[in-house]
Amino acid sequence: MLSGLINYTYSTLAIMKSYKMAWRNLWRNRRRTIITVASVFFAVFFALIMRSIQLGTYDYMFKNMIESYSGYIQVQNEEFWEDRIVDNAIEFPGEIRKKMLEIPNVKEIIPRFESFALASSGSRTKGVMVMGIDPEKEKLLSDVQRKLIKYRLSDNAVEELKKEDIPEDVKKNLELFKGFTYASDRTICIELGIKERDSGLVMPMIRKHALVENGYIEIGKPGALVGDRLATYLGLSKGDSIVLISQGYHGVSAAGIYQVEGILHLPAPDIDSRIVYLPVDICQELYSAPGLLTSVVLHIDKNDDTSIDQTLSSLDSKLDEPYRVLGWKEMNETIVNQMDADNKSGMIMIGILYLVIAFGVFGTVLMMTAERRREFGVLVSIGMQKTKLAAVMVYEMIFIGLLGILAGIAVALPSIIYGYYHPIRFSSNMARMWEDYGFEPVMAFMWIDKYFLWQSVVVGIIVIVAVLYPVRKIIKLKEVNALKA
Amino acid sequence: MITKTAWKNVWRSKVRSLVVISSVAVGIFAGVFSVAVMEGAMAQRLDDALNDELSHIQIANKNFRANNDLACFMENTDEMKQKIMTLDEVRSVSDRIIVVGMANSATKSSGVQINGINPDEEKHVLELDRKLKPGTGNYLDKSGRSNMAYIGEDLAKELNIIRYSVTKEVIDSLRVRDVPQKVINKLEPSLEVRFKNEKAFNRELKKVISKEEETKYGYIIKEESQTYRENSRMLLTFIDKDNYQTGAVFRIAGLFDIPNKMFESSQVFVLKDDLQRLTGLSDGEEHIITIRLKDVSSTRVVTDKLKEMFPEMEVLNWREIQPDLAMMEELAGIMYGMFMGIILAALAFGIVNTMLMVVLERTKELGMLAAIGMNRKKIFRMIMSESVFLSLVGGVFGMIFSKIVITLTAKHGINFSGYKEGFEAMGYSAHIYPHIGNDFFVIVTFLIIITGILSAIYPALKALKLDPADALRTE
């Protein structure tokens, strides 16, 4: 009977594929497999969510920085970047513009005239950034017009709204977001938690009490747009006057008084609290620099890293001194540096997590090997090749890793997809803290990207390292000793 | 007895136990050390904020903070100061005039807040006088020349007052600071060339040295290459008491160097007498009274007392002036707890697996113990203790190791020079001295014990479910 059993086992072994055996082996000790898979799952899940939030938030912040201010690519006077003064403004004659537009990725050239001034209204004064823009062309990039505030939840508006017949939770949120401003119906609905079915009822009330009138600026007509935080500080609203005092081209004194045409809300607090937009020609007039620009922003078609690098290098080859080409990374060095530091710290955290999990996986492998020593001995004595046995072991570990990764992805994915479409917006204290550091208080998620692959690579490495031990044991196995175990 | 058995049990399978123990040790070490780095950075930020920027409590006219208006001053501040000094908890007070204006050099200008101070008083409230950058001059001196200003290094850079050039002396000092000759040779072509600001110098550096060399030695080269003429001039302009534009040329007395670049580039300190003359404010008309306490912990109590004392003024302590700092301090504990929690949760998987193994491989033995009359409670306790021992031994090793590493690194600090710019933009120093209080180790020890217990619950329940008769029969 024993010989029959051995015969049977032998024949099945010969027929059965290694991976099939490995799969069955996994379920011989179901609990242990599940716990090990769970540990890998835990690490993968955490790592995915953390990475998604980190990368997504950087992406969001960069997009904000870029789209509300610097743009992806700028061309400036060589001197201007190092010394941001009006004296370093230059002309951008037609032939230079033509050269830039020859590059396929460059769609439009957006003029800018940037400088600093002391802004005052009444007795309050503040150093501000003055930005001369072409209001029409600017729509392609920072789209200033869409950032004009539409609703303001002033104390008064909140009081009035509370008297109206609106859902209770919206009322509660009103209190929380008192003093906030919104540029679109969508954002106000999200923040106040107005559900779609209620919006038909609530939005008219909000329009009635919180709507803000705003105009826009145009070329040739004096007028200014002011950041929300700056306007609050200077006590400005539409129709008020703002006085700008500064130093113009070659030391000429510059002073002007402009009517505020609109208040806008920029997501980056650092910019919002000190920006004044003027039409570019009015700005040139203020600084006595007709026809000069401090920089031009290029509106580009494709904005992925490779296209930008390509465009940068072809611009570099076409433009000579004194023109200088700058990419967004170079223009936003500080924030890139900050995000880089944050990114590294996040990676260290995940590294620690994986290290701990690796130990756990290794422990499991160790136990599996120890308890199956005798079994290995039997299998090898009845003629199973050691390489095949090792292959079974490798498959087992691969399965554990794979199950962990798949489970991690399966559970993390819905949250990531949901988060991608619904970024988390902080309120109250937390928001204040982020804003004090100059970031918009938003936590965004990154869409499925390379970071998914990285988790698999790390788990793969853990599995490979862990499996080396049993493979070595099997290769060095002495059947006689093993059978005695 | 049970604990002793449990302890011996741990060592029955040495390799397996050692794997678990070392995983706990590594996890705890990595966690505690990371927390110490974070805590070090935060504690430094808090210290800097209190010592250089805020002090403990500030009193101002109710409208001043919202408007920053010159006209919103307090009257009879001398009397107020005397009253404040009667409180036992107060160490020192100082008052300031504050105006918002522009600082202009020959080529550049920048918006700043100008603080008119009395240096003798100010020295006891803030430590800015001790943050003087060596070789750049002196702190303000009441008996010295008038129209002197004490400004931040960053503002000096922004105004092109600090320039850059690599001179023969710079080369020598770079050698002293262990910059390799290979790198120094690359700087030769730019010898004696003057760069008007940091950006221009950066650009030149990027051209001549490689990226790795820049991250490693860039900041040393930049530090050494700074040139600065003492008594450089700048023009301060602002609006006076009667709403007229006014201003005066100030000479720079010295530069201060602190981690918070925002503060450095936006604050100018001048003598109060000069600012009084220019703005038309008289003695006793000040904007802010800054109060330093003997002990920070009495902040809340003293704030309340002062609020009562001066009901018509705005009394704010540092927590209220910078809620982000206060929140950071409060949230830090939660953050560290979460961080350790995630690591311990990951460790728990390994422990559960091992303990489960322990129970399964000892089925027969456990059955035997039960059969000879060991009660279930004791079996449960034995397995619990074994798990706690496993995690605690690892934890203690991890903590000892992290304590050693923290002490070693705290001596000279860890310099994240590559991220200096980003750190300092947020007010943090890039040179971090890891630090963690001993109470944290106590908390971590508790967390480890809890992890050990929680991880053993499932395996221990498994052991309890064993039927002695069946268990005895297993192979």
Residue pair B280/B242 in contact (Cβ under 8 Å)? The answer is: yes
Q: Which two tokens stand for residue A160?
A: 């009035």
Q: Is the CB of residue B24 less than 8 Å from the CB of residue B391?
A: yes
B279/B242 Cα distance (integer angstroms): 8
Q: Which of A36, A83, A274 sits opposite B108 (nearest CB)?
A: A83
Task: Say how far apart CA B51 and CA B121 lie, in whole Å.
Answer: 14
Cβ atoms of B240 and B216 closer than 8 Å: no
State the nearest Cα–Cα gap between A251 and chain B, in angstroms.
9
What's the pLDDT at A215?
87
Query: How big is the CA angle at B121 (ends B80 and B143), to the nearest 5 degrees?
Result: 125
Tokens matching residue A354: 């994986």
Whether residue A84 lies inside any domain: the answer is no
pLDDT digits (tens, 9 = 90+) for A74-123: 999 888 877 778 888 888 888 888 888 888 888 889 999 998 888 888 87
Assign residue A152 a region (left: φ > 0; alpha: ψ between -120 and 50; beta: otherwise).
Answer: beta
For residue A79, tell me if it sits in a domain. no
Q: Identify the bridge partners of residue B292 per DSSP, sorted by sequence position.
A: B92
Q: Enter the tokens of residue B240.
A: 């006076």
Q: CA-to-CA distance for A211 and A203, rounded, in angstroms? A: 10
3-class DSSP state for residue A65? helix
Question: Does B419 have pLDDT greater than 60?
Answer: yes
Residues composing chain A: 485
A383 in any annotated domain: yes
Among A45-54, A141-150, B98-107, B239-248, the range of highest mean pLDDT: A45-54
Q: Where does the pLDDT of residue B248 fall: very low under 50, low under 70, confident under 90, or very high at 90 and above?
A: very high
Which pLDDT score, from 0 to 100, does residue A3 have? 59
Beta-bridge partner residues of A243: A120, A257
pLDDT at B139: 92
Q: Residue A207, Cα to own-chain centre: how many angstroms? A: 32
B222-251 per-residue burial string, b: 16 or more CB within 10 A, e: under 16: bebbbebeeebebebbbbbbeeeebbeebe
CB B389 within 8 A of CB B6: yes
The DSSP bridge partners found for residue A275 are A129
Q: What percent of chain B has pLDDT over 90?
A: 40
What are the pLDDT digits (tens) for A375-395?
Answer: 888 888 888 888 888 888 889
Q: Does the distance separating the beta carbons of A245 and B245 come in below 8 Å?
A: yes
- Position A345 scores a pLDDT of 87
Beta carbons within 10 angstroms of residue B354's beta carbon: 29
Are B72 and B287 in contact, with CB atoms under 8 Å apart? yes
Q: Give contacts of B 255-314 with A, CB under 8 A.
A: none
Q: Which of A285-289, A347-351, A360-364 has the lowest mean pLDDT?
A: A360-364
* Confidence (pLDDT) at A10: 57
Name the band, by pLDDT with cuts 50, 70 and 90, for residue A196.
confident
Residues of A in contact with B31 (CB under 8 A): 352
- Per CB-CB distance under 8 Å, the chain B contacts of A32 are 353, 356-357
Q: Does residue A26 fall inside a structural domain?
A: yes
Q: Does B419 touch chain A (CB under 8 A)?
A: yes
What type of residue sits at position A58? Answer: Y
pLDDT beyond 80 at B341: yes
Q: DSSP string of A277-341?
A: EEEHHHHHHHTT-TT-BSEEEEEES--SHHHHHHHHHHHHHH--TTEEEEEHHHHTHHHHHHHHH
Q: Are the C-beta atoms of A51 and A451 separated by less than 8 Å? A: yes
Q: How far apart are CA A217 and CA B394, in angstroms?
A: 68
Residue A393 lies in a domain: yes
* Mutation target among A48, A82, A428 for the B interface, most CBs of B within 10 A: A82
**What token pair was written down for A460?**
């793969």
Contact B347 A356 (CB under 8 A): yes
Residue B442 has pLDDT above 90, yes or no: yes
Would residue A179 count as lying in a domain? no
- Residue A5 has what pLDDT? 56
Q: Is A265 helix (H, G, I), strand (E, B) or coil?
A: coil
Determine the angle formed by the axes of helices B376-412 and B323-361, rounding to 10 degrees: 140
Range of the domain at A345: 2-62+336-484
Chain A residues in contact with B323 (beta carbon < 8 A): 429, 432-433
pLDDT band at B272 (very low <50, low <70, confident <90, very high): very high
CB contact under 8 A, A360 and B349: yes
Chain B residues with CB inside 8 Å of A42's CB?
345-346, 349
pLDDT at A263: 92
Average pLDDT, integer, range A138-147: 82
> Which residues of chain A neighbour B238 with C-beta distances below 8 Å?
125
The alpha-helical segments, DSSP class H, found in B127-210 are 153-158, 168-176, 181-187, 198-208
CA distance B293 to chain A (A): 25
For chain B, what percent of residues have pLDDT higher than 70? 100
Residue type at B333 in one-letter notation: G
Cα of B19 to nearest chain A Cα, Å: 6
Distance of CA B30 to CAs A466, B38, B463, Å? 21, 12, 33
Least CB–CB distance from B350: residue in A39, A81, A436: A39
Rounded mean pLDDT of A271-277? 87
Bigger pLDDT: B82 vs A371: B82
Phi and psi angles of residue B438, each rounded to the nearest 5 degrees, phi first: -65, -25
> What confidence tens digit (pLDDT) does each residue in A224-259 have?
999 988 998 888 888 999 999 888 888 888 899 999
Give residue B363's pLDDT band: very low, low, confident or very high (50, 70, 90): confident
A95: in domain: no
Mean pLDDT of B338-355: 90
Confidence of residue B290 (pLDDT cuts 50, 70, 90): very high
Structural domains in chain A (count): 1
Q: Determine whether the interchain pair B19/A362 forms a contact, defined as Cβ–Cβ distance below 8 Å.
A: yes
Query: What gap in Å lies between CA A465 and CA A449, rounded to an integer?
Result: 26
Contact B100 A126 (CB under 8 A): yes
- With bands split at pLDDT 50, 70 and 90, how would you rate the model's confidence at A6? low
Position A114 in a domain: no
Give mean pLDDT, residues A475-480. 82
Is residue B3 less than 8 Å (CB to CB) from chain A?
no
Indicate the pTM of the whole model.
0.81
Q: Confidence class of residue B50 from pLDDT cuts 50, 70 and 90?
A: very high
**Which chain A residues have a beta carbon less than 8 Å from that of B203?**
82
- pLDDT higher than threshold 70 for residue A4: no
| Residue A91: exposure state from Cβ atoms within 10 A (0-12, 13-18, ≥19) | exposed
Put simply, whether B341 touches A (Cβ < 8 Å) is: no
Q: What tens digit of pLDDT does each residue of B192-238 get?
A: 888 877 878 887 888 888 888 887 788 788 888 888 877 888 999 88
Rounded to 10 degrees, what is the CA torsion of A258, A262, A263, A267?
-110
Nearest-angstrom CA–CA distance, B130 and B271: 17
Provide, as residue numbers in chain A, all residues whose Cβ is less than 8 Å from the Cβ of B349: 35-36, 38-39, 42, 357, 360
pLDDT surpassing 90 at residue A68: no
Percent of chain A scored above 70 by pLDDT?
A: 94
pLDDT given at position B456 = 92
Identify which of A195-199, B301-305, B471-475 has the greatest average pLDDT. Answer: B301-305
* pLDDT in the model for residue B71: 83
Apex A418 CA angle, A415 and A420, nearest 5: 105
Mean pLDDT, residues A461-472: 90
Please give the residue of chain A at the shortest CA–CA distance from B25.
Answer: A356
Max Cα distance, chain B (Å): 101
Residues 6+ apart with CB under 8 A from B109: A116, A246, A247, B102, B103, B159
A341: distance to nearest CA of chain B, Å?
A: 6
| Distance between CA atoms of residues B103 and B108, nearest Å | 8
Task: Specify the DSSP class assigned to residue A179.
Answer: T
- How are beta strands A151-152 and A181-182 bridged, if at all? antiparallel
Average pLDDT, stretch B134-154?
88
- The predicted structure's pLDDT at residue B416: 84
Is residue A434 over pLDDT 80? no
Half-sphere exposure of B418 (CA within 13 A, CB side): 12
Mean pLDDT of B404-413: 92
Token pair recorded at residue A71? 């743009």
Q: What's residue A364's pLDDT? A: 82
Q: Answer whether B240 touches A (CB < 8 Å).
A: no
Q: What is the pLDDT of residue B260?
A: 87
Is beta strand B162-165 parallel, antiparallel or unpaired with respect to B194-195? antiparallel
pLDDT at A430: 66
- Shortest CA distance to B435 belongs to which of B357, B307, B336? B336
Which amino acid, one-letter code, is at B444?
Answer: V
Q: Which residue has the tokens 């991220």?
A: B419
Residue with the two structure tokens 């560290």: B336
Q: What is the DSSP letter of B267?
A: E
B91-118 confidence digits (pLDDT tens): 999 999 999 888 888 777 788 899 999 9
Report, in angstroms and rounded to the nearest whole number, the Rg of chain B calculated over CA atoms.
31
Contact: B349, A123; criterion CB under 8 Å: no
pLDDT confidence band for A399 (50 / 70 / 90): very high
Per the CB < 8 A criterion, the answer to whether B278 and B239 are in contact is no
Is A130 in a helix, a strand, or coil? strand
CA angle B430-B431-B433, nearest 5°?
130
Q: Which chain B residues contact residue A438 at CB under 8 A?
A: 425
User: Does the pLDDT value for residue A178 go beyond 60?
Assistant: yes
Mean pLDDT, residues B459-474 taken together: 83
| Residue position matching structure tokens 């001197």 | A79
Residue A436 to residue B324, Cβ atoms within 8 A: yes
Q: How far apart are CA A337 and CA A343, in angstroms?
A: 10
Beta-strand ranges (E) seen in A322-421 are 323-327
B31 and B361 Cβ atoms separated by less than 8 Å: no
Categorize the per-residue pLDDT at B245 as very low, low, confident or very high, splitting at 50, 70 and 90: confident
Mutation test of the interface with chain B: which of A362, A367, A374, choosing the one with the most B Cβ atoms within 10 A?
A: A367
Q: Residue A328, CB half-sphere, CA atoms under 13 Å: how many?
A: 25
Side-chain-side CA neighbours of A352 within 13 Å: the count stands at 25
Q: Of A36, A334, A348, which has the smallest distance from its Cβ to B425's Cβ?
A: A334
What SS3 class is residue B7? Answer: helix
